[in-house]
Chain A
């Protein structure tokens, strides 16, 4: 299993500012994932954070808005830039899996509840 510490747990931010969310894992993992969970909705994958290379973004998400760092195998950050109220969501860090199809589960951090005012 993996224990994921995510911080901050919540924040209220002014529009136009940026917030950096940190994700720390208690073991080395190859891939880390960042999700967004908008109010009352499911999880949407933002990007895959790869150690030693650029993050891979899903359709609808761009690096300028959600820059990601992955300096080592246990840590990643997601920045929400130039925030607007539409960015109010829960942001979740996740790790898990191996290679190919196997039964490795995903582990999630507690999430960062962001409110933009």
Chain B
């Protein structure tokens, strides 16, 4: 089992502030995915990063894949209440994904 550790576990910030969530592992992955899960729903894919050092931007969200393809970060600029949710990273290996425990983000209006 490939272990992914996410930090922090919980994050509560005011609307307009920035935040960063981290995903770390000792294993190398062929790709890494970030999902967001809202209460009462299943996780929904935000982005997939494949190449070491890759940076992807999705509006106010910036995703980075570490050079060694073992870690990743998610940065949100000027967070909004709609960004509230559980952020999950998942490392891909062959035909399956291994997930971290997630970071619960709360953005207060």
Q: Please say whether chains A and B are actual partners in one complex.
A: no
